[in-house]
Structure 1
Amino acid sequence: MKILFLDQSGKPGGAELCLIDIAKPYRDRALVGLFADGPFKTLLQQNQISVEVLTTQSIQVKKSSSFLQGLKSLRQIIPLIIKVVKRAKGYDLIYANTQKALVIGAIASFFARRPLVYHLHDILSKEHFSQTNRRIAINLANYFASLVIANSQASQTAFVQAGGRANITTVVYNGFEPKIYQTCESDVRQLQQELGLIGKFVIGHFSRLAPWKGQHILIDALAKCPQQVTVILVGDALFGEQDYVQQLHRQVTALGLKNRVNFLGFRADVPQLMAACDLVAHTSTFAEPFGRVIVEAMLCGTPVVATKAGGAMELIEPGINGFLVQPGDFQELAQVITTCLHERHKTATMAHNARKIASQHFDVKIINQQISQLLSSKFN
């Protein structure tokens, strides 16, 4: 089966990392078409996956865009659709990995007469998308997609509640390569020394810096914790969210936490950094579709606390393999942090359980097998 994968981003986010894993088994008979150039293209090439940047013009439609704003992008979209139609005729299947990819892929599938798969990495709710964007996504998926793969039950439920056809949806969680998260103890120790973390209780937060990712909540919680607790923020602003970064710096200064919060920016050594932490915090202010960071922390053997909403509730069983707190409740988060600080044996047991469960349920080999069986049964 020859597959044309489509993705809107030039930057590697969670959906893009997932796409690399999905495309690998098909790399001798697949092409990834991107709607923007950037480091994601390089990552695909490093994994020997054929890739082509299909347009150099950014599609000026955001998750919050109205119908009229969407119409203004038609001049950009039409040449892209024509190009995708031409490419699609050389493949058996179009696989849309993002919402903009769904828009282009749905129209292209009609003209190229090729079936369409939509991989849903989002919760189609009012917190994430405008009503116009939700309606477009649902209608296009309903009319053009033969299969919708949701990355969690939360994403699937939101899709159906918004009007999506339940009979074309199925849930396949993200896959991970467990070996990547097996770190060398001496390397982790050296990293702790380089960052000045020895003798401290370290909380790691791994995501882009954005208001809904909730770094400000973790900083408020830190102010309520004992002095030996420190935070590392791994990630930086994307999509014009630089004002939020400045807000975080002002918050840290106002609370007198400059010596206890480290802004590390984007890093390539995430597994080592996670292993260097005593706790990983996932503090999204509203429902996350899946929560890759949660599983990554589990595979690193690091305890994790996450927001009680969306996909996180499918990954964590409180008291067994992690902690859940109410969205935005920094005082409850501070209590969990303090518990982890004082009850190291209990949290170590939970982290051990988490690593075992994550290795069993989210191994990329199992996930790829599920997707392969779905595609084979549907389109062969």
Structure 2
Amino acid sequence: MKILFLDQSGKPGGAELCLIDIAKPYQDTCLVGLFADGSFRSLLEENHIPVQILTTQAIQVRKESSLITGLGSIGQLLPLIVKVAQLARKYDCIYANTQKALVVGAIASFLSRRPLVYHLHDILSSEHFSQTNRRIAVTAANRFASLVIANSQASKIAFLEAGGRADITEIVYNGFNPKNYQTDKFAVNQIREKLELNGKFVVGHFSRLAPWKGQHILLEALAQCPEQVTAILVGDALFGEQDYVQQLHRLVTTLKLENRVKFLGFRSDIPQLMTACDLVAHTSTAPEPFGRVIVEAMLCGKPVVAAASGGAMELIEHGINGFLATPGKPQELAQVITACLNNSHETAAIANRGQTVASQRFDVDNINKQIAQLLSRLGTKA
């Protein structure tokens, strides 16, 4: 099958990393069209996946945008829609991987008479999107998509509650290659030594720095943990969230955690850094659509404590393959961290179970087979 993939981002987030795995089996016949240039293009090229930058003009619509802003962007989108429609005639289907890609892909699907697939990586709720953007996404999917792939039960439920069609919606979890999370022990030891983590109980947080990702919750919990507990924050701000980064630094000073918190920024050695941790914390204050970091930590053989909402509830059984804590409750998170510190044998057993379950349940080959089966049912509109 020849697929035209569409994605709005020039930077690799969870949806983009997922797209790389989905596109790989089709790399000889597919094209990934991006609405912005950046490091994501380089990643696609490194994986030998054909890529083309379809526009260099930023689309002035964000998740919280109003109807007026949305209408104002239509003129800007028209040249892009025409270009996508022309390209799509060379392919069997259009695969929209993000919400802006859905809007462009929906109209291009109509013009080119090619079926549209929408991969839903978001929870379409008021916590994440404006009412206007939710309505646009649901209307575009209902009217033009032949298939909506939701990345979790939580994402599907939110889509249906927003008015989405159940008859075109299927759940397929993100896929992972377990081999990518096998690390060299020497390299991991070097990281711990370089970051001066030896003798510490290291809690890692892996996410962009944003209020709803809840790094402040981890810092507040850390202040209630024994002195040997240290945190590393891997990631940086996107989308104009630098004020939050300053807020986090002020919180570190206020809580007197200067010697117990390290801001590492964006890093490419995520498996090595995760393996260098004793525990990985997921602290989102709003429901997470899936929780890619949770599975990655499991595959690294590390115990995970996650906020008990959204997709995380589908990934973790508390006390079996990980831990759950009430979102936005630093004291409860501190109790879990301290329990892991004090019960290393039991925590290691839980981490081992998590690794086994994740390796089987989210194996990328099995996930890609599920997607291929769904795509094979698409009827060509041409």
Q: Match of 1:348, SS? A: helix
2:203 matches 1:209: no
Q: Percent sequence identity over matched residues?
A: 72
State the Cα distance separating 1:377 from its structure 2 match: 2.5
Counterparts of 2:217 and 2:250, CA distance in 1 = 14
Structure 2 residue matching 1:83: 3-state secondary structure: helix
Q: Which residue in the other structure is 2:322 paired with?
A: 322
Aligned letter for 2:179? K
SS in 2 for 1:146: strand
Determine helix, strand or coil for the equivalent of 1:310: coil
Q: How many residues align?
A: 380
Q: 2:143 is matched with which residue?
A: 143
Asked whether 1:130 is paired with 2:130, we answer yes
Distance, in Å, in 2 between the alignment partners of 1:51 and 1:41 is 7
Tell me the residue number matched to 1:29: 29
Shift of 1:378: 2.9
1:48, 1:304 → 2: CA distance?
A: 33
Cα displacement (A) at 1:157: 0.5
* Equivalent residue runs for 1:99-110 within 5 Å: 99-110=99-110
Alpha carbons 2:7, 2:97 under 8 Å: kept: yes
What residue number does 1:43 align with?
Answer: 43
Which residue number in structure 2 is paired with residue 369 of structure 1? 369
CA distance in 2, matches of 1:336, 1:220: 13
Match of 1:77 in 2: 77
> For residue 172 of structure 1, what is the aligned residue in structure 2?
172
Partner of 1:227: 227
**Partner SS for 1:280:** strand
Give the 5 Å matches for 1:186-335.
186-335=186-335
- Distance (Å, rounded) in 2 between the aligned partners of 1:175 and 1:116: 21
What is the SS of the residue equivalent to 1:117? strand
Asked whether the 8 Å contact 2:88–2:108 carries over to 1, the reply is yes
Instruction: Tell me how far apart the structure 1 counterparts of residues 5 and 181 of structure 2 sit (CA, whole Å).
Output: 27
- Which moved further from structure 2: 186-195 or 274-283? 186-195
Residue 68 (structure 2) pairs with residue 68 (structure 1): yes
Moved more, 128-137 or 66-75: 66-75
Q: For each residue in 1:238-281, what CA deviation from the matched residue of structure 2 results, as whole angstroms up to 9, or x when unmatched? A: 00000100000000001100000000000111001000000000
Q: Tell me the distance in 2 between the aligned counterparts of 1:146 and 1:274.
A: 39
Runs ≥4 residues deviating over 3 A? none
Question: Could you tell me which residue of structure 2 aligns to residue 349 of structure 1?
Answer: 349
Are 1:183 and 2:191 matched, yes or no?
A: no
Offset, 1:27 = 0.7
What are the ranges of 5 or more consecutive residues in structure 1 without an aligned counterpart? Answer: none
| Partner secondary structure for residue 227 of structure 1 | coil
Amino acid at match of 2:211: P
Partners of 2:333 and 2:379 in 1: how far apart?
47
Per-residue Cα deviation, 1:156-175 (whole angstroms, up to 9, x for no partner): 01001110000100000000
User: Contact 2:115/2:378 (CA < 8 Å) preserved in 1?
Assistant: no
CA distance in 2, matches of 1:32, 1:181: 25
In the other structure, the counterpart of 1:14 is 14
- SS of the counterpart of 2:159? helix
Residue equivalent to 2:340: 340
Work out whether 1:114 is the aligned partner of 2:114.
Answer: yes
**1:379 CA drift (Å):** 3.7
Residue in structure 2 matched with residue 162 of structure 1 by the alignment: 162
CA contact (8 A) 2:45 2:51 kept: yes
What letter matches 2:162 in structure 1? A
Counterparts of 1:192 and 1:331, CA distance in 2: 27
Following superposition, the deviation at residue 331 of structure 1 comes to 0.3
Aligned AA for 2:34? L
SS at match of 1:378: coil
Distance in 2 (alpha carbons) for counterparts of 1:115 and 1:180? 33
Matches of 2:235 and 2:307, distance apart in 1: 19
Q: Which deviations, in whole Å up to 9, do the C-alpha atoms of 1:222-245 show, x marking residues without a partner?
A: 000000000000000000000100
Q: C-alpha offsets along residues 20-42 of structure 1, whole Å, 9 cap, x if unaligned?
A: 00000001110000000000000
TM-score, L = length of structure 2: 0.99
